[in-house]
Amino acid sequence: MTPAETAVTPRKNSDVRNRMAIALDVDDLVEAARIAREVRPWFGVAKVGLELFSAAGPDAVLELVDTGYRVFLDLKLHDIPTTVRRTAQVIAAIDASYVTMHAAGGRAMLRAGVEGLAHGAAGAGVVTPVALAVTVLTSDDDVPPHVLGKRVKAALDAGCAGIVCASSDVREAKQLAPRLVTVVPGIRPAGASRHDQARASTPQAALAAGADVLVIGRAVTAAADRAKAASELVGSLALERRQRPEDAAVTPR
């Protein structure tokens, strides 16, 4: 089974929780672990970004894996191919489930990252992480229309198993590469502040567009009652899923 097939199995699982990623955008591992435990009943994936990884390093991934999460390591690798290959090889050994590289780096760089992840995982005896190419940041609303297609093609040609894109880009991306996993950040409940996300989306709209994994941060992590916020948000999606059982779902590996 390929990494993409391990991550996404269409029409076989109606568990919304496995499609939810909680963004732990904090600079302290103790706080990140506390948030992760509070919302664990509603989230199956935990995102570790540059802030938390810079503060805690690989320990952040290991802590969350031990808690039962699949970890989305969002480092957006972007450098010369040799550096990305070597970095990806090291990263793969810490057992993250998803690792991001920036598609702006081009096909050769993305291919180097994919190869590095496969080699590093094989050496560590762990499952190869799903390589995700970041297409266009959700904070960027001034990118020419052709850029998305160019970057999706680069991801596909390089052997990436998925992409990160805005909800508004999912349909086009799926038309170009229907088998790629689509991870969508910038998720906000209706009426919530967009903060710095110029191309934010409601979770319902993202799922309707065909998103496979939703990344949710401040709407839950900044709430006065995180458990309540998580329960209400994921509960509303679970109800919608029961009404639309034909949608795809993400299965835990």
Give yes or no: 76 in active site.
yes
Annotated catalytic residue: which of 76, 150, 174, 228?
Answer: 76
Residue 129 sits at the vertex; the CA angle it makes with 53 and 219, to the nearest 5 degrees, is 50
At residue 242, what are phi and psi to the nearest 5 degrees? -65, -25
DSSP string, 28-81: -HHHHHHHHHHHTTT-SEEEEEHHHHHHHTHHHHHHHHHHTPEEEEEEEE-S-H
Catalytic residues: 76
